[in-house]
Amino acid sequence: MNQKIEFKERLQEVMRLKGIRATDISEHTSIPKGAISYYLSGKSQPKADRLHILAKYLNVSEAWLLGFDVAMERTEMQQKNDSLVQIIDKLRKDPEFFEAVSMLADVPEGDRKNLMPLLRTLRSQK
């Protein structure tokens, strides 16, 4: 029977594989460096919200980070869910974005398909 790998070992492994330091994680996730040090030493484990933030930043599965015998990479569904969360957050905070999405939702499907090349061009210019 396989023994579950500890969170600290998985965190150390992914950091080594990706050449990421605790400081990098802290700067990109706003998780205090002290908390990351505690995770790396095994003194504590992150709660669900920080686990998700870490997994997303490191582009690994939460279950893998927790030591389960699953694929390391985030699944396509997890990546789509991450994108949806970002979109919903932006919808809440940005009235112009909300208006643009609302207007796009009202455009008939055929016309929306015609808009896609323009939207892709605009996105590539940023």
Q: What is the pLDDT of residues 93-126, one digit of tens each?
A: 999 999 999 999 999 988 888 999 999 999 898 7
Closest of 9, 23, 15 to residue 68, by C-alpha: 9
HSE-CB of 66 using CA atoms within 13 angstroms = 11
At 80, is the pLDDT very low, low, confident or very high (cuts 50, 70, 90)? very high
Domains of the chain listed by start with CATH number: 1-93 (1.10.260.40)
Structure tokens at 44: 């504590």
0.75 cut: is pTM over it? no
At 2, is the pLDDT very low, low, confident or very high (cuts 50, 70, 90)? low
Number of helices (H) and strands (E) in the chain: give both, helices first.
8, 0
At 4, is the pLDDT very low, low, confident or very high (cuts 50, 70, 90)? confident
> How far, in Å, CA of 47 to CA of 39, rounded?
11
Contact 70, 63 (CB under 8 A): yes
At 90, is the pLDDT very low, low, confident or very high (cuts 50, 70, 90)? very high
> DSSP label at 46?
-
> How far, in Å, CA of 91 to CA of 69, rounded?
36
Residue 116 phi/psi, 5° resolution? -55, -45
Q: Say whether pLDDT at 5 is over 90.
A: no
DSSP 20-48: --HHHHHHHH---HHHHHHHHHTS----H
Percentage with pLDDT > 90 across the chain: 81
Residue 60 phi/psi, 5° resolution? -130, 165
